[in-house]
Structure 1
Amino acid sequence: MSALSGSTPPRPRGLTYRDAGVDIDAGNRLVDRIRPLAARTRRDEVLDGIGGFAALVRVPLERYREPVLVSGTDGVGTKLLLARTLGRHDTIGIDLVAMCVNDVVVQGAEPLFFLDYFATGRLEVEAAAEVVAGIAHGCELAGCALVGGETAEMPGLYAPGDYDLAGFCVGIAERARLVDGRRVRPGDVVLGLASSGPHANGYSLIRRVLEQSGADLAAPFGASTLGETLLAPTRIYARALLALIAEVEVHAAAHITGGGIPENLPRVLPEDCAAVLDRGAWAWPPVFRWLAEAGGIEEGEMLRTFNCGIGMVVCVAEEEAARAQALLEAAGETVWCLGRIEPRGADGAPVRWRGEAR
């Protein structure tokens, strides 16, 4: 029947945001799950956090003569794909916090607060809640407050089941006590703090090794499985480093992330100084040996891609080295003396290696 006959065709049902792939109700349920998690991380400086348009945090000026705010941001990279493959989302949030707070604390700053950005194609509340629970736990380990974040549901930009993470951390330090490498001098001792695994770096290469070797993630590996070993969360060094900085003059600290020791340690060394390190000072954890063998990766490439068992490096004066090591160990860290700072020379490399790896 034509429209001219006088009949009116039924009107189509009006579209909703859910029809477009965005579930507002799911987002609200996630916020309700987040509130008690964030409450566990609250610090006295937090005036208002989850639920507002912005978080309010008081700067504790009474504790500082010349306070400096120190900020850092990072993500987790393709380790997210391993978490998705294993269906484990409860530790990846710890990685996110660690990658940010470890960068802040090496400057001598105490982490104050943290925010996250969670982007996905379709919000799966249970998985997202696991991720945020990990973020909250990471904040507890670091001593900083989870004050807010953003959950973005973007159908069409992300495939179903995919999500990405970014983190943002702000800390505070006394300007006169900033750790920036300017105090490093020949004779200083270089200490290395153990990592918990690959942390959140090099996973594009790790996934290529898994693909090339055909390795089974469920296969036994040490006391766990290969998959669980590779998914182990990044170690958070904030409390141990802050305890050290309170007692010892730390000349420099470097978070060993992508690029390994050869790329990260030079970032905190003066141009006239070089770190001369002993390859045999520590034993590579089995997971790094496995990666090297399964992927046929040369030692140099391993050292410039992974942390190879050293997640943090600290430089202190020789007379303070034994005390610094004892303080770090008392805080729960495993520590090795990696080497010393020497004059670089006109054409010398900032990191020089001696001995054989073990």
Structure 2
Amino acid sequence: MTETPTNSYRDAGVDTAAGDLAVELMKSAVSATHGPGVVGGVGGFAGLFDVSFLKEFRKPLLATSTDGVGTKVAIAQAIDKHDTIGIDLVGMVVDDIVVVGAKPLVMTDYIACGRVEPARIADIVAGIARGCSATGTALVGGETAEHPGLLGPDDYDVAGAAVGAVEADELLGADRVGDGDVVVAMESSGLHSNGFSLVRSILRTAGLEFTAHSDDLGGMVGEVLLEPTRLYTTPLLDTIAQHPGAIHSLSHVTGGGIAANLARVLPLGSWVEVERSTWSPAPVFQTLAEMGSFTLESVEGTWNLGIGMFAVVDARAADAVVATLGAAGIRSWAVGSVSTAAHPLDGFEQGAKGVDGGAVKLVGTYS
């Protein structure tokens, strides 16, 4: 007598029914990001987007970016709060596209997990959808992959990719930057999504759990650290439109910290001294640095320390750009100016991430 095999896919740890339920739970959030350009809705093998409008461009360029949120997901998992990590993902991906002046069009996401928990997956995707709505990006597709044996049952990681478009002659970059341009800093909402391996190491050494309350941090440790990444895309696109030609280059302050990211969008031969006295890093940075026995200066290459984005702006329009960003809810201020004069450049960071760009040095003392 032959026994009926019981070693089904579900027995092996992959629950396709749970995956289907997760899709049903996220459907409305995803659909809310869709405008008339989306073709076919949710559930196809490929997301479709009508780009007929690009025929009206003089010379359209597509901009694309992909990223994740790093070990910040470990904190979301530790306190079982998953509804903001998707906003971080949009910030890391879509705000890299606006750096070149491009308007984002579409985004896709990928979630790898040890076990599909439909409500948790739906929370993650709902956060992605909120971020996409805030940046005018259609969430046109995604994938949830169950990897039992590779990831723990409650472990997951997230990644995403987006595509945008920009006119070739409106492309922002170092080639537009000139002597005397003003560097405008835009305030971050906190750590954003970089440097969490250092954060976790500091807390582990201090014996402080993510679920603990910290008077110094101002609340439950995990909740403070999960403050979502600020989204700059819509305010920046509006500012670019209101002040044509005023913004010459933009830099998203992510991995690599302050000086290295600014150096990437400056022309070779130029330099900037960023004046620390123009801002005071938020308490989350100061508290974590003190816990780890670090100076703020020593973590400038790891954390954003309160600056999430830089704009290099025509000096004549700097005040107007700061005012426009402020009206959109983005506190901004001048931190320095670009110079092309001869300089020994001792202690400067020059270029980064394979870009042979300008040189940047932070000077002075934080206020």
Normalization by structure 2: what TM-score? Answer: 0.92
Q: Which residue of 2 aligns with 1:132?
A: 125
How far apart are 1:17 and its partner, in Å? 0.9
Matches within 5 A, 1:96-135: 96-135=89-128
Distance (whole Å) between structure 2 residues aligned to residue 134 and residue 151 of structure 1: 15
Structure 2 match to 1:182: 175
Judge conservation of contact 1:276–1:342 (CA < 8 Å) in 2: no
Could you tell me which residue of structure 2 aligns to residue 15 of structure 1? 7
**CA displacement at 1:347 relative to structure 2:** 4.3
CA contact (8 A) 1:259 1:304 kept: yes
**Could you report, residue by residue, the CA deviation over 1:22-76 in whole angstroms, capped at 9, with x for unpaired residues?**
1111111111112211111012211124211101111122542211110000001
1:314 aligns with 2:311: yes
> What residue is the counterpart of 1:293 in the other structure?
290
Q: Take 1:268 and 1:96, find their aligned partners in 2: how far apart are those partners?
A: 23
Q: Partner of 2:135 in structure 1? A: 142
Within a 5 Å distance, the mapping from 1:328-339 to structure 2 comes to: 328-339=325-336
Q: TM-score, normalised by structure 1?
A: 0.94
Structure 2 CA distance, aligned partners of 1:289 and 1:85? 23
Equivalents in 2 of 1:223, 1:308: separation in Å? Answer: 17
Aligned to 1:3: none
What's the offset of the Cα at 1:204? 0.3
Equivalent residue in structure 2 for 1:48, among 36, 40, 46 = 40
2:73 maps to amino acid: L
Partner of 1:34: 26
Aligned pair in 2 of structure 1 residues 113, 344: CA closer, same or farther (>3 Å)?
Answer: farther
Return the offset for 1:298: 2.8
Alignment-derived partner of residue 363 in structure 2:
354
Letter in 1 for 2:229: T
Amino acid at match of 1:352: K
Partner of residue 79, structure 1: 72
Bigger radius of gyration: 1
1:170-194, Cα deviation, whole Å (9 max, x unpaired): 1111111011121111211111111
Q: Distance in 2 between matches of 1:215 and 1:316?
A: 42
Shift of 1:138: 0.7
- In 2, the alpha carbon distance for the partners of 1:174 and 1:45 equals 19
User: Equivalents in 2 of 1:203, 1:119: separation in Å?
Assistant: 20
2:353: which partner in 1?
none
Residue deviations 1:103-135, cap 9 Å, x none?
000110011111000111111111111101111
Query: Which of 164, 169, 193 is the matching residue for 1:171?
Result: 164
CA change 1:328–1:163 in 2 (3 A) is: same
1:4 aligned partner? none
Report the CA distance shift for 1:161/1:69 in structure 2 as closer, same or farther (over 3 A): same
CA distance in 1, matches of 2:265, 2:47: 32
Cα distance in structure 1, aligned partners of 2:29 and 2:318: 39
Q: What secondary structure sits across from 2:18 in the alignment?
A: helix
What SS does the corresponding residue of 2:139 show, helix, strand or coil?
A: strand
**What is the match of residue 5 of structure 1?**
none
1:209 aligned residue (199, 202, 214): 202
Unaligned runs of 5+ in 1: 1-7
Task: Give the residue type in structure 2 aligned to 1:170.
Answer: V
Structure 2: unaligned runs, 5 residues or longer: 349-358
Aligned 8 A contact 2:179 2:338 in 1: yes
Paired-residue identity, %: 44
**1:78–1:137 distance in 2 versus 1, CA, 3 Å:** same
Deviations along 1:77-127, whole A, 9 cap, x unmatched? Answer: 100001111111000010011100110001100111110001111111111
Q: 1:355 to 1:346 in 2, by over 3 A?
A: closer
In structure 2, the partner of 1:251 is 248
- Aligned structure 1 segments of 4 or more residues deviating by more than 3 angstroms: 220-224, 344-347
Q: Does 1:162 align with 2:155?
A: yes
* Distance in 1 separating the partners of 2:265 and 2:255: 15
Specify the SS of the correspondent of 1:134. Answer: helix
CA RMSD of aligned residues (A): 1.4
SS at match of 1:106: helix
Corresponding pairs, count? 350
Output the CA distance in 1 between the equivalents of 2:326 and 2:304: 20
Q: Is the 8 A contact 1:274 1:343 kept in 2?
A: yes
Per-residue deviation at 1:216?
4.4
Pair 1:324-2:333 in alignment: no
* AA at the equivalent of 1:29: L
In the alignment, the residues of structure 2 paired with residue 58 and residue 166 of structure 1 have an alpha-carbon distance, to the nearest angstrom, of 24
Q: Summarize the Cα distance change of 1:223–1:207 in structure 2 as closer, same or farther, 3 Å threshold.
A: closer
Shift of 1:299: 2.9
Matched residue type, 1:219: H
- From 301, 304, 307, the equivalent of 1:304 is 301
Question: Shift of the alpha carbon at 1:224?
Answer: 3.5
Secondary structure of the corresponding residue to residue 182 of structure 1: helix
